[in-house]
Amino acid sequence: MNLTIQQVSKKYKNKVALRDINVQFTSGIIGLLGPNGAGKSTLMRIIATLDQPSSGQIRWNGTDIAKKPKKLREELGFLPQDFGVYPGLNAIEFLEYMASIKGVPMKIARKRINELIVALNLTENCKYPIGGYSGGMKQRVGIAQALLNDPKLLIVDEPTVGLDPEERIRFRQLLSTLAHDRLIILSTHIVSDIESIATQIALLHQGQLLAYMQPEKLIQNIEGKVWKCIVTSDQFNRIQKQYLVSQAVYRSEGMEIRVISDQPPCSEAKKVAATLEDVYLYYTTLEK
């Protein structure tokens, strides 16, 4: 599996959403990480053939998806950020309806739906109206509809927004089980959604691709630039104006702060191990 994005840009009347994106994705879970407004959803829609780039080209296993979108659509599963359901239908009825839209023969669809209902732990509730489902259960139905055609490319856009912590953990575990022999692109602005499951991370900011590499290599890039120290309120106010403070916690002995900087923010500062959260802040705040 190979998804190649070459010089892709997207311009609207008063905004440039994407600027010359060049990247190649292969099998595994790709974490597309960036703040709101970074261009993630725009890129996902273009990959899913729901929109066209202003310039550039995307190839799926060598085929230009703009010229032959059917080739990709046959192997695509997509869970958009604004995924909606028919609240009066139960999960089986909804999935049968989605299968008919996707052109999956009903004999094959029913077998596939039964498999997905079991795999996604929806058996107990599959005959109840979806309108009564929790956020996490609705997302599982969303993943089920995306998997109806057993796709080789699965795109999920901001899938954990509105989910509680337990549901988010379950959703991440689910994606991990689906990653074998597939390319999964998970778009999010929540670092914890991808730090434990992504095989590669693409950092997107202001429409530009800032970095694309393994999580551990991203972290290595800022090793030696993360500091921790305990300071007074006056010191904190000064440091906050001069440095990027990623964390501040009140302690009995003062303010414990975590700072990302090439130089120590104060004489008592000690270097600490970098995290993916530090990487995210470093690239999207300091690296403009």
- Which residue type sits at 45? R
Contact between 256 and 265 (Cβ < 8 Å)? no
30 pLDDT band, cuts 50/70/90, is very high
At residue 153, the 3 state secondary structure works out as: strand
Tell me the HSE value of 66 on the side-chain side, using a 13 A CA sphere.
13
The DSSP H or E segment spanning 95 is helix 91-102
Closest CA relative to residue 65, chosen from 149, 12, 24, 4: 4
pLDDT value at position 214?
Answer: 94
Per CATH, domain 3-214 is 3.20.20.140: no
- Please give the model's pTM, rounded to 2 decimal places: 0.88
For the chain, give percent helix, strand, coil, nearest 5: 35, 30, 35
Mean pLDDT of 242-269: 92
121 pLDDT band, cuts 50/70/90, is confident
When the pLDDT of each residue in the chain is averaged and rounded to a whole number, the result is 91
Length of the chain: 288
286 pLDDT band, cuts 50/70/90, is low
Mean pLDDT of 239-251: 92
Furthest C-alpha separation in the chain: 71
Condensed to tens digits (0 to 9), the pLDDT of residues 129-143 reads 999 998 888 888 998
